[in-house]
Amino acid sequence: MKNKIGIISLVLWVLTVGLFAIFFVKGTTTVSSDQRRAILLSPSEKDLVLGEMRTMLTAVNGVLGALSENDMKKAALAASSAGMAMAVDTSPILMAKLPLDFKELGMGTHKAFDDISAAIGKGATLPEILKSMHQITNRCVACHQVNRLSSAELSFDKRQNQFALNVEKNYEWKNYQK
C-alpha cells in the first residue's frame, strides 16, 4: 500500500515537472492577425514587458546621444540601464509563459547592453561601440519580426457556463474554437 502511494506520487511528480518543462519551452502562444506569433500574457504582464521594451529604447537613445557628444561615461551608464539587472525580478509565471527562444533572445539582449557598458569602460573605440550597438538593434529587429504580445484574461462566460479566455481583438478567435 505504502509502495503504491509512493509510485503514484512519483508519477504525479514526473507529470507536474514534465508539464512545467513543456510550458517553459513552448510558452503560451497563438497566431496573431498579422501572422506573427502572439504570446498570451495577462494585461499587467504585458504592461511589464512593454515597459522593459521602452527602457531598452531609452537606453539605445541614451547611448547614441552620449556617443554623439563624445561622453563615454554617460554612454556606459545609458547602456547599463538596460542590462541584466533590470530583468532579475521577472516572475516565474511570466517566465513560463514566454517561449524559450524569446527568453534567450531577450536575456541575450540585456547581457549585450552590459557587455557594451563594460567595453566602453575598458576604452572601446567609437566604431567598435557602434558595431556592438548594431548587433543589439539586430536583435530588436529579429524579435519584433516574429513576435507579438497579447493580453488574455480568464473570465467566467455566463452563456457557456464555463471559464473562457477573454482575448484582445488582435487574435483570431478560431484559434480557440475546437
Helix (H, G, I), strand (E, B) or coil at 84: helix
Among 29, 109, 117, 132, binds ligand HEC (CB under 6 A): 109
Among 29, 40, 41, 56, binds ligand HEC (CB under 6 A): 56
Nearer Cβ to ligand HEC (53/118):
53
> Counting contacts by CB under 6 A, is residue 110 touching ligand HEC?
no
C-alpha cell, 82: 538596460
Of the candidates 100, 119, 120, 96, the residue with the CA atom closest to the CA atom of residue 108: 100
Among 31, 94, 105, 130, binds ligand HEC (CB under 6 A): 105
Among 60, 96, 130, 165, binds ligand HEC (CB under 6 A): 60
CB < 8 Å & 24+ apart, contacts of 30-33: 30/150, 30/171, 30/172, 30/175, 30/176, 31/172, 31/175, 32/148, 32/150, 32/170, 32/171, 32/172, 33/170, 33/171, 33/172
Instruction: Please list the alpha-helical segments (H only) found in the chain.
Output: 2-26, 43-68, 72-80, 92-97, 100-121, 126-146
Closest contact distance (angstroms) between CB of 81 and ligand HEC is 12
Instruction: Give the x-and-dash track for 5-34 against ligand HEC (CB under 6 A).
Output: ------------------------------
Give the integer Cα–Cα distance in Å for 171 and 38. Answer: 8
Closest contact distance (angstroms) between CB of 36 and ligand HEC is 7
The one segment of 2-10, 12-20, 120-128, 142-150 that binds ligand HEC by CB under 6 A: 142-150
Binding site residues, ligand HEC, CB under 6 A: 50, 53-54, 56-57, 60, 102, 105-106, 109, 136, 139-140, 143-144, 147-149
